[in-house]
Amino acid sequence: MKMPMDAKKNRAAIGILVTDAVITRPPGDVGNPATYPFPVLYQKVPTASLGRIIENKDPSLLPPIREAAWELIRKGAAAITSTCGFMILYQQELARALPVPVFVSSLLQLPFIRRIIGSEDRIGILTAHSVHLTMLHLRFAGLEDPGAVMVVGLEERPAFREAIFGGAGALDFSAIQQEVVEAARELIREESRVKAILLECANLPPYAAAVQATVQLPVFDFNTMIHQVYRAIRQAPYSAPFPPPPTSSK
């Protein structure tokens, strides 16, 4: 379905597909509207539990995810993202079906990161669940070389596990930040060739600054991607004074 040009002109918001999960979302989390200095819209996908997305890789979720995306577009979304990096498995079909840019996973940044570091260097991925993050997910994101990444999961870290998978909505920010930072430290200790970090999970950006302060490397996450796409769909003119003409040199 194509979108009329007038409808495109009036669109300004990033539409965010929300998983069917009980999670407390501090500032920085993709699910918290205070994270962004621009308009965002949210739409929960009924029955899209973390178990069905992460563990089961459930293809039957595609229709409700697609319908939720259409609802966001009807509300004015100019591009569509999500609150779960494991939704990468639905990326291709959603991008094909929808008339706006679709970028449902932070993993889509992997090919870009791969090109800005050395050919022998590696990308460290901190993920919500390392057991279920497979080469299939990386391929759907456009990365073919499994040797280019090193993956560390947070599924066994107690504070993170309780906050994300516990189902009660409890969140100990300081404890989770400590766990995420320690996971990043372990990653760097195990592989000195890691030259950039990617936070797969949409719940991890609140801790990105602490990770960067610890490892002193570029840190990519959902929000680096969302800001880039928003800038692309809402370019603004530059308002600084025009510079004087250059003087000729002799």
The string of pLDDT tens digits covering residues 35-50 is 999 999 999 999 999 9
Mean pLDDT per 10-residue section of the chain, whose length is 250 residues: 50 92 97 98 97 97 98 98 98 98 99 97 98 97 96 97 90 98 97 98 99 98 99 94 82
Q: Do domains 10-105+228-233 and 107-221 have the same CATH topology?
A: yes
> Hey, where are the domains in the chain?
10-105+228-233, 107-221
pTM, entire model:
0.92
Which residues are 153's β-sheet partners?
127
Distance, first Cα to last Cα, the chain: 60
- Domain 107-221 CATH (choose: 3.40.50.2000, 3.30.300.180, 3.40.50.1860, 3.40.50.10190): 3.40.50.1860
Q: What is the pLDDT of residue 3?
A: 55
Q: What is the pLDDT of residue 5?
A: 44
Specify whether the CB–CB gap between 13 and 44 falls below 8 A: no
- CATH code of the region 10-105+228-233: 3.40.50.1860
Which tokens in the block code for residue 249? 């040199």
Q: What is the pLDDT of residue 6?
A: 46
